[in-house]
Structure 1
């Protein structure tokens, strides 16, 4: 498939390698004969292709993202493909400085400041905000079908009961905003303490901002209180940050539960470590 896409974009490729940690697309880093690095991205489904295409159109000029150099709508065998510029740097890590975390907060808030466009009809990105509680229910119970096959019956039942209790305590939703749905360090590129931008938009929605802090907190903000405080300052410099202490417990819990279902759906042997991590997280919440 990569060869077909390379031919489609008429690229003169010197070297190509598959990018790790890409779970909803196949991504290749290509070094061209002139020394330039570009990325080929082939989403798993047509819907993910359409979401990402619309995201690039919406975010361009508003949020730092790769340049969409070219795209192909695909055919019967390929759902579509993108040719993207390289953001200089490497994925964010927990050893970043507070000044970098401040920039992450600014970036996140700028993304959340974007509302559904009134002049553009979207076929990929849905506005879930008007029925946000129903959307969260659908996600949870969809993954529950998979999670129950790898969880003890008692643990599974406790999770269902806790979900129903906790969701009743959530504050009013904050939005409608452009939410990434996978805003985690692997998708935030940093170059020498400077945030270059954000990548990967195949899961985006318009919805409530409250869902979008969970993975960043899990994999970055929770490691150091100074990073957490700097992020909050950066975010608040653009738009008011919701009270994360009110929403994070619910979304951290549902993230662990949904991740268990995701591992079963994608292959529990292949994702055994991530499965075990989330089972441990869930047990801490429930037992």
Structure 2
């Protein structure tokens, strides 16, 4: 399949390395004979391919993203593939400066400023905003069966009760906005003290911004109050920021619950560390 994609794009490749930490696509970093680096991305499903394709068209010129150099719609054997330029730098880490955190806030807000297009018909990116409560509920309960196989019955029942009580206390949703759904350090590229851009759009939706802060908080913002404050300042320089103290507890709880279900689906042994991290977070909310 990889050779077919390389031929499809007419590439002359010197070396190929598979990129780790990609959960919804197979991604390869390719060094061309010219010396340039490009990325090949093969989504797992046709829907993820279509979301990614539409996201590049919507975000271009508004948000810092890689350049989509080419794409192939695939065939019966391949879901499709993208040829992407390289964003200079490495994934964001908690060692970043407040200056970088500020830029991450700006980048995130620029993405949230984008609303559903008035004229373009989208077939991949769903607009979930009008039924936001139902979307969150459907997402939660889609993982519940998997979670029930991991948690003991008492803890599982507590989680279900907690969800039902917390969801009715949420404020009115903020949107409709373009939400990444996986806005975490691994998908934010930083070069020295400058944010190069954001990657990976196979899970994007139009919906409420409130869901989109969770993973960034979990993996980055909660470790340093100065980073958290700088991020908020950057975000507010572009658009108003919702009260994160009100919505984060609910979304941190549901993210932990859903992540436990995700680990069960993708393999508990392979994802043992991530599973344990989310069990700790879930128990903090329940016990």
Shorter-chain TM-score: which interval?
over 0.9
1:41 aligns to what? 41
Distance 1:147 1:218 in 2: 20
1:183 aligns to what? 183
Cα distance, 1:272 vs structure 2: 1.1
- Deviation >2 Å, runs of 4+: none
Determine helix, strand or coil for the equivalent of 1:62.
coil
1:120 aligns to what? 120
Equivalences for 1:18-167 in 2 at 5 Å? Answer: 18-167=18-167
Determine helix, strand or coil for the equivalent of 1:164.
helix
Q: Which stretch shifts more, 272-281 or 187-196?
A: 272-281
Cα distance, 1:119 vs structure 2: 1.0
Equivalences for 1:115-264 in 2 at 5 Å? Answer: 115-264=115-264
Determine helix, strand or coil for the equivalent of 1:71.
strand
TM-score by length of 2: 1.00
Distance 1:276 1:107 in 2: 31
Determine helix, strand or coil for the equivalent of 2:26.
strand
2:14 aligns to what? 14
Cα distance, 1:91 vs structure 2: 0.2
Provide the alpha-carbon RMSD of the alignment.
0.4
Q: Count residues with an aligned counterpart.
A: 287
Cα distance, 1:249 vs structure 2: 0.2
Distance 1:20 1:261 in 2: 21
Cα distance, 1:28 vs structure 2: 0.1
Distance 1:8 1:138 in 2: 38
